[in-house]
Structure 1
Amino acid sequence: MELNLEGRTALVTGSTQGIGAAIALRLARAGARVGINGRDPGRVEEAVAQARKEAPRADLVAVAADLGTEEGAARAQEVLPEVDILVNNLGIFGAKPALEISDEEWRRYFEINVLAAVRLTRMYLPGMMDRGFGRVQYIASDSAVVIPAEMIHYGMSKTALLAVSRGFAKEAAGTGVTVNSVIAGPTHTGGVEDFVYQLVDRDLPWDEAQRTFMREHRPQSLLQRLIEPEEIANLVVYLSSEQASATTGGAVRVDGGYVDSILP
């Protein structure tokens, strides 16, 4: 299957590292013009330079903006006035006992993990609908369905994205625009390495720490390993393509069989 995104412009939020960086690179390799986003201009430029090393012919745009704010969203639109593919990847996570999560933290998780994506969707979706093509995706998580006891504020925000995705898919019905959420399973990123070491012995070598984490904290994974970011990116690129034109309003899983369900 040839996934050709030439002529399309994409914005991947929170894409200077981890899953976002992998998605941006894979979209660029498929031919899309890709906006790489982060808050720090220096880190954004570094991410663009690294992506160009891996894909020398990539058409990349630096989008240095804090998309957790209205001002940051407006800045992104100045750099990329129109977007054909919007990948809402920006998110924060961390472990905290449920009864110790403050009101401020609840609001912060909602504003960054949910409201930022809603704001950008409101910004870019009308243009997609007018042009008769668009792809909006929300990078959700198995935590949306299997709420982790150690970070229910994070789980809440990812559950909200499933509802947001389904609702905007209805708004875009019949326009040629698809809207989906991607349920990513436990994935190997630098941030997740830090999270793993919050829950297992920090003196363990990484391979052993990973196995211990999966065995003790994610035993339902059928993959029995962390997913690599490129594996998430492969699904995102497919959903961004013409070939995925009949997939909309869905919560599409790339979770390593983590969610114990025969339905998406």
Structure 2
Amino acid sequence: MKIDLSDKTALVTGSTLGIGLAIAKGLATTGATVVVNGRKQDAVDKAIAAIKAEVPDAKVEGIAADLGTADGVSAMVAALPAVDVLVNNVGIFNPQPFFEVPDEEWTRFFEINVMSGVRLSRAYAQGMKERGWGRVVFISSESAINTPVEMVHYGFTKTAQLAVSRGLAKTLAGTGVTVNSVLPGPTLSEGVAEMLKDETEKTGKSLAEVGADFVKAHRPSSIIQRAAEVEEVANMVVYVCSKQASATTGAALRVDGGVADTI
């Protein structure tokens, strides 16, 4: 299958590292004009250089903006008035016991993980509808349907993304614009590497080995029995953004290694 998005512009939020960067690289290989985003310009510049190093003919741009705020979204839309593909990837996570999470932390997670995608979808999807084609993808998590006891505040935001994604898909019925969520499981991103840093240093094991140990201990229902690579998640996202995925909308597509024990 050859995915060709050479006539499209794609914005991937939070794409200076991890899954977001892998998605941006993947979309660059399709010929799309890819817009990288992060909060700081130096991180955006490094991500652009990394993409061009792997995809020499990449058409890639960058916009620094904090999309966890309404002002940051407004700045993004002012700099980039229209896109054909929107990947709502920006997000945060942090293990913390339920009884120790204050109100402001619940609000911070909601603003970054949920409202960034709500605001950007509201800004861009109307134009997609008018042009008769578009792709909106929310990067949710298996935590959306398998709430993690160690970070309930994170899980609730990922469940909220599924509701927004499904509702927006129905709102855009019959327009040529699809809206989907992709649900990664534990994935070897920089954020997960930082979370597992103490264990890797203590044991001397590789990140992949410690990631597999984490999965077996904390996500024992995993069928692949390891953490995913960021590229494995990106592959699903690139397909969902493709013209070939025209009959896939309103879906919650799992790249969780079988963690969610449901058919």
TM-score range, shorter chain: over 0.9
1:152-231 equivalences in 2 (<5 Å)? 152-197=152-197, 200=199, 202-204=201-203, 205-206=205-206, 207-231=208-232
* Cross-structure match for 1:4: 4
Query: Which residue does the alignment assign to 2:82?
Result: 82
3-state SS of the aligned residue for 2:150?
A: coil
1:104-123 matched pairs, under 5 angstroms: 104-123=104-123
Alignment of 1:6-25 (within 5 A): 6-25=6-25
Q: Deviations over 1:202-236 (max 9, x none)?
A: 50123442232122111111011110111111111
Correspondence 1:73 to 2:73? yes
- Please say if residues 197 and 209 of structure 1, whose CA atoms lie closer than 8 Å, have aligned partners that are also in contact: no
SS in 2 for 1:182: strand
Q: Tell me, in whole angstroms, the C-alpha distance in 1 between the residues paired with 2:21 and 2:74.
A: 22
Structure 1 residues 79-106: Cα deviation after superposition (integer angstroms, max 9, x where no partner): 2211000000000001101110000000
TM-score (norm 1): 0.96
Distance 1:201 1:241, change over 3 A: closer
Deviation larger for 24-33 or 67-76: 67-76
In 2: Cα distance, 1:197 partner to 1:106 partner: 25
2:142 matched to which residue of 1?
Answer: 142
- Name the CA distance, whole Å, in 1 between partners of 2:225 and 2:60: 35
**Is the 2:216–2:226 Cα contact (8 Å) retained in structure 1?**
no
Task: Detail structure 1 runs of 4+ shifted over 6 Å in the superposition.
Answer: none
Aligned-residue offset at 1:148:
0.7
Distance in 1 separating the partners of 2:77 and 2:7: 18
* Aligned residue type for 2:248: T
Give the Å deviation of 1:194: 1.7
Name stretches of at least 5 consecutive residues in structure 2 with no aligned partner: none
1:232 aligns with 2:253: no
Q: 1:8·1:84 contact (CA, 8 Å) conserved in 2?
A: yes
Q: Which amino acid aligns with 1:46?
A: K
Paired position in structure 1 for 2:48: 48
Distance 1:215 1:39 in 2: 34
Q: Tell me by how many angstroms 1:69 deviates.
A: 1.3
Supply the AA of the counterpart residue of 1:203: K
Number of residue equivalences: 261
Of 68-77 and 183-192, more deviation after overlay is shown by 68-77
- Going from structure 1 to structure 2, the CA distance change for 1:155 and 1:226 (only over 3 Å counts) comes to same
Distance between the aligned counterparts of 1:231 and 1:125, measured in 2?
A: 27
Deviates more, 1:19-28 or 1:46-55: 46-55
Name the SS for the 1:203 alignment partner. Answer: helix
Report the CA distance between 1:201 and its aligned residue.
7.1
User: 1:154-196 deviations in whole A, cap 9, x for unaligned?
Assistant: 0000000000000100111010000000011110111101223
Q: State the match for 1:96 in structure 2.
A: 96
Task: Describe the SS at the equivalent of 2:149.
Answer: coil
How far apart, in 2, do the equivalents of 1:62 and 1:209 lie? 33
* Deviation for aligned residue 1:27: 0.2
Distance in 1 between residues matched to 2:251 and 2:212, nearest whole Å? 31
